[in-house]
A and B are shown apart, each in its own frame.
Chain A
Amino acid sequence: GAGVSQTPSNKVTEKGKYVELRCDPISGHTALYWYRQSLGQGPEFLIYFQGTGAADDSGLPNDRFFAVRPEGSVSTLKIQRTERGDSAVYLCASSGGFEGPQHFGDGTRLSIL
């Protein structure tokens, strides 16, 4: 596609619920990244995929967060038992290779009530 696509653009849910956020990277990009951005701050790294495997998941805050990329393209970030502190914009980026420029999607604004 023309750019990184993320759905939904907005998600409002109640505390304790389960959410899935989807990222469709630029066609042909092998690397995919998830970041989280809180208001007034820079994006913070969550997890990085090279192909289908998670090469680095050191940024996931706890075991409620999980991400998959089963076919090496689309990725889903999954959050269980959501908490109000999970509210943020979740950004996805993709790149074409080692230390390639990372291009971001518009993000999913997640609000936990």
Chain B
Amino acid sequence: GENVEQHPSTLSVQEGDSAVIKCTYSDSASNYFPWYKQELGKRPQLIIDIRSNVGEKKDQRIAVTLNKTAKHFSLHITETQPEDSAVYFCAAIGSNFGNEKLTFGTGTRLTIIP
């Protein structure tokens, strides 16, 4: 089955600087990669996703890049703000037809330092 690894586990960034979180996956046929933001005690919130037919996707201050050859994808947050502080999870859907389950990484606790 799919295995997703995520780094770093914690990340502290000065307000206004950029943050990058990286994930690798094991199933070369995986084709959908979402990122979720989870604040303490709240639901995971989908913030951006990418499919395997594109290499990059951007939405305002958030971007995701995908390298299928290397089987890794990254989340980039620019001009960080205090409200970006949260735990971020990457995830992937494996290749089996009808297999819709997300396999999540272990999370990155992002702290924005004012």
- A residues contacting B by CB (< 8 A) are 4, 31, 33, 35, 40-45, 48, 50, 55-56, 58-59, 91, 95, 98-99, 101-107
Contacts and interface: CB of A to CB of B under 8 A. Distances in A.
B106 interface: yes
Contacts, number: 60
A56 B101 contact: yes
Interface in B95-114: 98-107
Nearest to B93: A99
A99 to B, nearest CB: 5
Interface of B: 31-32, 34, 36, 42-46, 49, 51, 89, 91, 93, 98-107
13 contacts: A42-B106, A43-B104, A45-B101, A45-B103, A48-B101, A55-B98, A56-B98, A56-B99, A59-B101, A91-B43, A99-B31, A101-B46, A104-B45
Given A33-B101, A45-B103, A101-B49, 11 more contacts: A4-B43, A41-B106, A43-B44, A44-B104, A48-B100, A55-B100, A91-B43, A102-B46, A102-B102, A104-B44, A106-B42
